[in-house]
Structure 1
């Protein structure tokens, strides 16, 4: 079994990356995902903590190429995030990015471009909302992530290698 990265602690990575319509396996590794989904509370109070293990795991999954799985975990965190909060906007952008990355892997660059554009719109909407708390959206490098997406969208054609990693945004 693959060793999990430090951001996920002792949480196991899925045994394979599921790609709808292309995977050798008949379905996703739901058993592993269920372990992580169980960490998400029914509702977060006030904000989604930046260090919540399910959130960190979902971001790590995307960066490790488990795009479908990242989308599933991030959607579970999104569903528990406070209504109208900044985290919901950022989580929606992250879900759109993971979905766009999956579409790139499935060789659907036009769909991926549209999804990256929607994610960029969410990030821009987040930028006009006030910050200043302890939530996930307050310390996340939103401007850097938006810049990475803008650079991808400026390319004439996207390919499989043009996915967006969340860690790249924190390094720019």
Structure 2
């Protein structure tokens, strides 16, 4: 359900749910060209960190970590969490398509924060197309992971990108939620 702008502040004041509350968020939310690159720069929040992915699964801690990062405005970091799972997911599988859609959804969040409307619209459109393909098949297991149907997520993603302000103030390094929804059923 899309939350009105008036209700958004109330929603955020209640706090967004956490799937892995004992895992600390990164020291900053990365935006390309702003601050140290998380992985390549020795001052980055994930420099030298190696992730071990045993299997790509909606039940994995890494999938839940991606949800936490996304829901709290760490879009670049959510992209990275889900990309690791996407790389090992079976080619052609619905799970791999879902992960790709979530990666593009995260990229949409980054582009919105950067104030890049055309890029945000492009990523949102690509994510929406993948999600609508998943919505046409009986993938009920995605409902719990997403907290909504893939088709609704596609609509909300595209609507958010289309409604973004032409210019946006960017709070460098501070996470900022740009979507009025959360992913997952906590």
User: TM-score, normalised on structure 2?
Assistant: 0.70
User: Runs ≥4 in structure 1, deviation > 4 angstroms?
Assistant: 156-162, 168-171
Does 1:21 find its partner at 2:29?
no
1:23-51 deviation digits (Å, cap 9, x = unpaired)? 2xx2211159x36x32x21x44xxx2x33
CA RMSD of aligned residues (A): 2.8
Q: Is the 8 A contact 1:113 1:158 kept in 2?
A: no
Please state how far the C-alpha of 1:88 moved relative to its aligned partner. Answer: 0.9
Does 1:82 find its partner at 2:90?
yes
For the residues of structure 2 that align with 1:60 and 1:70, how far apart are their CA atoms? 8
What is the 5 A alignment of 1:103-142? 103-131=111-139, 137=142, 139=144, 140=146, 141=148, 142=150
Classify the secondary structure of the residue corresponding to 1:6: coil
Q: Is the 8 A contact 1:116 1:153 kept in 2?
A: yes
Q: Any gaps of 5 or more consecutive residues in structure 2? A: 1-16, 39-44, 169-175
Q: Is the 8 A contact 1:144 1:169 kept in 2?
A: no
Could you say which structure has the higher helix fraction? 1
For the residues of structure 1 that align with 2:152 and 2:179, how far apart are their CA atoms? 11
Q: Which has the higher contact order (CA 8 A, sep 6+)?
A: 2
Please state how far the C-alpha of 1:10 moved relative to its aligned partner. Answer: 2.1
Change (3 A) 1:90 1:8: same
Q: Is the 8 A contact 1:145 1:169 kept in 2?
A: no
User: TM-score, normalised on structure 1?
Assistant: 0.75
Change (3 A) 1:98 1:27: same
